[in-house]
Amino acid sequence: MMADAQDGLICAYDLDGAGGARPLSWAGIDQPLPDAPQALRWVHLERTHPTAQIWLHEKSGLDETAIRALLAEETRPRCTRFDDGVLLNLRGVNLDPDAEADNMVAIRLWITPERIISARLYKIAAIADIRQSLDAGQGPKTVGQFIARLAARLTERMEPTLEQLQDELSVLEERMLEQAASPMRKELGALRRRAIGLRRYIGSQREALAELGAARPAWLDEDDRVRLNEQVDRVTRYMEDLDMIRERAFVLQDELYSQLSDRMNRIVYMLTVITGIFLPISFLTGLFGVNIGGMPGVESRVPFSSSFLAWRGW
């Protein structure tokens, strides 16, 4: 069951600790938690909606610093531990067909042993996966499982984007061998910018997940830490792939500039040859066109060509 996102509450659940959950409305999230050993409430908000902002400031009970972090306009992945909770900012690939892949969407989370408050602006497929698993009774059972599963879903969706970048770069390399290089300058520049943008956020994401594992909050057990470490290793491999893509693009750009330089050198050589042929002719033409005394045929009434031939003794 999905709540109406137009009121600022995208969804809210009381997790039952067995993989299922009970959906909540605005009225429900202000009620006390169920009296259960593993009671956990998840509230997912649309961060720019006025109703969601009012609830955070007036009813959430969060520290003002945490609220500002959840509502910040721009943020990079990070993990910050407070006395009463953990602030975790993560990023996922934007799957909107009209969006650039490097324009990664953000999710911000406030995490305590009994409650998770998350906020986003754009739709995140990883969150939809968790909601579907909860509705099916196969969702996360604890806070640690929730965070580990979210990190895994965000990470695995990065792989197709990286593969697409590698495929596009391979196509450019083949085109470099088959045709003129100049039309590829814009495409190559766009590919490098996308790789750099992804690398910037993915690098921060790895640090945030590593810091969360190292912080060892009480709600993160050993199995959850192992799962987080797996995602850290996976993100590290993605960073290495992006570094390789950037290096290949740099080598390709060098080859592109080399081809353009060779072409320019050939053009300059041809211009030099043409100049060497026509410069003496231009000099002679200019010399005999000068109106000064003493030039052969100047005083003659016969055509200039005849006077010139007579002057040469022809």
Summarize pLDDT for 115-149 with one digit per residue, the tens. Answer: 999 999 888 889 999 999 999 999 999 999 999 99
Closest CA to 101 of 172, 155, 158: 158
Of 33-47, 198-212, 259-273, the range with the lowest mean pLDDT is 259-273
Quick one: tokens of 310?
């007579």
- Is residue 146 a contact partner of residue 140, using CB atoms and an 8 Å limit? yes
- Cα–Cα distance measured from residue 47 to residue 80, given in angstroms and rounded to the nearest whole number: 19
Residue 99: band (very low, low, confident or very high) from pLDDT cuts 50, 70, 90: low
Torsion of CA 69, 74, 80, 86, to 10 degrees: 50
- Type and span of the H or E element at 188: helix 185-215
The confidence score (pLDDT) of residue 13 equals 95
The highest-confidence range among 130-139, 156-165, 240-249, 284-293, by mean pLDDT, is 130-139
Dump strand ranges (E) for the chain. 9-15, 21-23, 40-46, 78-81, 86-92, 105-111, 115-120
- SS3 letters for 64-81? HHHHHHHHCCCCCCEEEE
CATH number of 5-259: 3.30.460.20
- Is residue 103 a contact partner of residue 197, using CB atoms and an 8 Å limit? yes
- Is residue 220 a contact partner of residue 213, using CB atoms and an 8 Å limit? yes
How would you classify the pairing of strands 115-120 and 40-46?
parallel
Read off the pLDDT of each residue in 84-97 and give the average, rounded to a whole number: 84
- Is residue 105 a contact partner of residue 121, using CB atoms and an 8 Å limit? yes
The confidence score (pLDDT) of residue 310 equals 53
**Percent with pLDDT over 90 in the chain:** 28
Q: pLDDT tens across 172-186, in order?
A: 777 776 665 556 777
Quick one: tokens of 7?
């009121």
The confidence score (pLDDT) of residue 313 equals 55
Quick one: tokens of 172?
């450019």
The confidence score (pLDDT) of residue 2 equals 39
Quick one: tokens of 280?
């003496």
Residue 88: band (very low, low, confident or very high) from pLDDT cuts 50, 70, 90: very high
Buried b / exposed e over 78-97, threshold 16 CB at 10 Å, is bbbbeeebbbbbbbbbbeee
Tell me, what DSSP letter sits at residue 216? -
Residue 63: band (very low, low, confident or very high) from pLDDT cuts 50, 70, 90: confident
Quick one: tokens of 203?
């690098």
Angle, vertex CA 70, rays to CA 69 and CA 76, nearest 5: 65
Does residue 89 register a pLDDT over 90?
yes
Residue in this structure with the two tokens 């080598």, named with its chain if needed: 251
- Type and span of the H or E element at 283: helix 222-288
Does residue 165 register a pLDDT over 90?
no
Higher pLDDT, 158 or 119: 119
Quick one: tokens of 259?
């081809």
The confidence score (pLDDT) of residue 40 equals 92
Residue 4: band (very low, low, confident or very high) from pLDDT cuts 50, 70, 90: very low
Q: Look at residue 112 and give its three-state secondary structure.
A: coil
pLDDT mean across residues, the chain: 82
How would you classify the pairing of strands 21-23 and 105-111?
unpaired
The rounded Cα 233 to chain-centroid distance in angstroms is 20
In the sheet that 9-15 helps form, which strands lie side by side, from edge to edge? Answer: 21-23, 9-15, 40-46, 115-120, 105-111, 86-92, 78-81
The confidence score (pLDDT) of residue 246 equals 83
Of 72-86, 97-111, 147-161, the range with the lowest mean pLDDT is 97-111
